[in-house]
Amino acid sequence: MQDTPVTLLYVADPPAKALLTEVGCWVAVASAEHVLRGRQGGFMQVCHGKAGPLRRVRPGDRVAYYSPTVHFGGKDRLQAFTAIGTVLEGDPYEVDLGDGFRPFRRDVGWDAGTGDAGIAPLLDRLSFTAGRQRWGYALRFGLLRATPGDLEAIGEAMRAVRRVRSRDFCITISRSGNTSGDRHGDDADQQRPGHHPQADTR
């Protein structure tokens, strides 16, 4: 009896399987006062509360907020990254803020130990601004996909800002001998103009 040759086929994992394990990276846009409310409440909200953009975001994704201004609709230019964190488990959910305003949100675990970092020093390092004269064009939609390198650079800059503030605070205390001097430490974010916890997130 003659043996029948057997052909073995090795099938590579489909690309889609690998994509499921990738961490998404995003940059959202909102005024600093609205971002502060989100940091205090542990959530993100984009595009005037629309659900569609939030459904693109997945648990485990990294997200950073860019704030062009301090106040919503204001002319008090800031142009800084004001929050960075990781999206938590769960789907987008709707909240009732009254007067017919029912925005959708997602829960986020915001990174501690960060400060507001201006975008100007990062323009040549970020994928959505490098080499672009009108770099703000990419941010006009309120939520854009970024790269891991983008989020790494933003996070590094924000952590560096907090380290400088903490160092300056310690120097102020050592020189004055008390805490009545100019503070740049942990409470600085709460005292910065434009940070109003009661502001809504429209």
CA 116 to CA 70: how far, in whole Å? 11
In tens, the pLDDT along 161-178 reads: 877 765 554 443 444 444
Which of 44, 13, 196, 190 lies closest to 116, judged by CA?
Answer: 190
Which of 114, 107, 128 lies closest to 60, judged by CA?
Answer: 107
pTM above 0.95, yes or no: no
pLDDT at 165: 63
Strand partners, 87: 108
In tens, the pLDDT along 82-131 reads: 999 999 999 999 999 999 999 999 999 999 999 999 999 999 999 999 88
With beta carbons less than 8 A apart as the criterion, state whether 48 and 28 touch.
no
